[in-house]
Amino acid sequence: MGVAATIASGASVGSFIVTNNDVPIPHPAQRYPGSSATFYSLGPQGTLTNRSVVYTGGDGIAGGSFSYSRIAIVPQGADVCVFVSDAATNDIASISATSRAVIGNYLATASDSGGSNGIGLVANANYLYAGFSYSTTIATFEIQSGCTLSFVSDLFTVGLSGGTVGGMAIHGSTMVVTYGDGSVASFNIAAGTPVANNDAENSSGSSSDHRPNGVVISADGHYAIFGDASTIATIEVSDISSGKLKPTIAYNVGQGWNSSNVQLSPDNSVIFVTSSSGGEITAAFFDKVTGRVSPGCATPPLNGFYDSWSYAGGAALQLSASDSGYIYVPEFGGNGFSSIGVVQFTATGRQCTLTELATSPVVDNTDASSMLSIGIYQGN
């Protein structure tokens, strides 16, 4: 799942964007404050204001898999818990959105490591799940009061061809996982910890070198939608209404290269695809009853692509119920600084437009970062 969905209401917290900057230890490590997360308030017409940097207390690796969401957002009472992974130090930093302070840094076991491609996060109101890329384990943490975490258990899991834990999404009692080797699997999380459903399969697209990386689950829990690592923008859809995966159906939705991340609009009628290696955003129409996908619209490569930044991460959506609004894209910096692309989306029936704002991207050259993940919280 790219960006954590709003689970409840943090009564005193306004809407915000937060990034995981994934800052590594420089050499020499002079005046290095550690990795960081950056908060922005959501202003009118897609603007980002009130920038605030929070140092996580850990270290990043400056990159990794596009499929990982390195941020999970969980409202809790009057506060909002923001969980950010530190892949080099193998910890999860918990940050209070109210105070913008780190509550603590939490570890799983000594063998859990995200040093190769990062640590992906996904959460519901009660549990946070961390996918460690190097050890290919899924750690379960219980979310306790005050945005603290308590480690519960670890699960080792690999793909059918030896792939490591990649994208994760949860809905109700179901967790869906990708492995980057063409295979996908689901787990039952009704009791908190994941239990394999023994339904691992190679996707239909994998025979054509379209390999599922990112994944999101429809709001009714009927479908899992995968974003594929591929030379053209390809997504795959699996019916999971039984609680287990059915064979996927692949759809070509555009020309973007490496369509690794997917998100769904609030009413689940539009799928947004980030082409990580092409720097583009594609929108495709989704029939939430039949699971079918049809072409929509796309941007050209976003401003500064292959000039000031090199890769696009999973997008965050600020859309109304009518599916109009803004899309925020984390842009991995090629010159030492990252940025956030801002794209306006409008739809009328089966027609849509995606237009990058003239003020995009949002760059702050005082904060060197390597962000590939962004999270959004929309308050009351």
Q: Which residue's structure tokens are 């590594």?
A: 24
- pLDDT, tens digit (0-9, with 9 covering 90-100), for 314-333: 999 999 876 789 999 999 98
pLDDT at 112: 98
The C-alpha atoms of residue 4 and residue 217 are separated, in whole angstroms, by 12
- Closest C-alpha to 305, from 245, 352, 360: 360
In a domain, 56, yes or no: yes
pLDDT digits (tens, 9 = 90+) for 4-17: 433 445 557 899 99
pLDDT attached to residue 13: 86
3-class state of residue 119 by DSSP: strand
Cα angle 270, 7, 157; round to 5 = 80
**Does 5 reside within a domain?**
no
26: pLDDT strictly greater than 90: no
Q: What tokens does 158 get?
A: 């690999």
Residue 359, in any domain of the structure: yes
Q: How far apart are CA 265 and CA 262, in angstroms?
A: 10
Residues 209, 230 contacting (CB under 8 angstroms): yes
Which residues make Cβ contacts (< 8 Å) with residue 186, sequence separation at least 6? 174, 175, 176, 177, 197, 199, 224, 240, 243, 244, 245
Distance CA 163, CA 176 (A): 15
Helix (H, G, I), strand (E, B) or coil at 141: strand
Domain assignment of residue 282, yes or no? yes
Residue 2 lies in a domain: no
Residue 361 lies in a domain: yes
Question: What does the chain come to in residues?
Answer: 380
The pLDDT-based confidence of 103 (bands split at 50, 70, 90) is very high
- Look at the chain and report how many structural domains it folds into: 1
> What is the domain-level CATH number for residue 167?
2.130.10.10
Percent of the chain having pLDDT more than 90?
A: 82
Residue 161 lies in a domain: yes
Backbone φ, ψ for residue 310 (5° rounding) = -120, -30
Position 5 scores a pLDDT of 39
> According to the model, what pLDDT value does residue 337 have?
84
Residue at 9 is within a domain? no
What is the tens place of the pLDDT at every residue in 48-84? 999 999 999 999 999 999 889 999 999 999 999 999 9
Rounded CA separation 106/283 (Å): 37
pLDDT band at 364 (very low <50, low <70, confident <90, very high): confident
Boundaries of domain holding 93? 16-377
User: Tokens representing 82?
Assistant: 């923001």
Question: Considering the entire predicted model, what is its pTM?
Answer: 0.95
Place of tokens 């962000």: 371
Q: Which of 112, 114, 243, 230 is nearest to 180 (CA)?
A: 230
The pLDDT of residue 332: 93
CA distance 213 to 205: 12
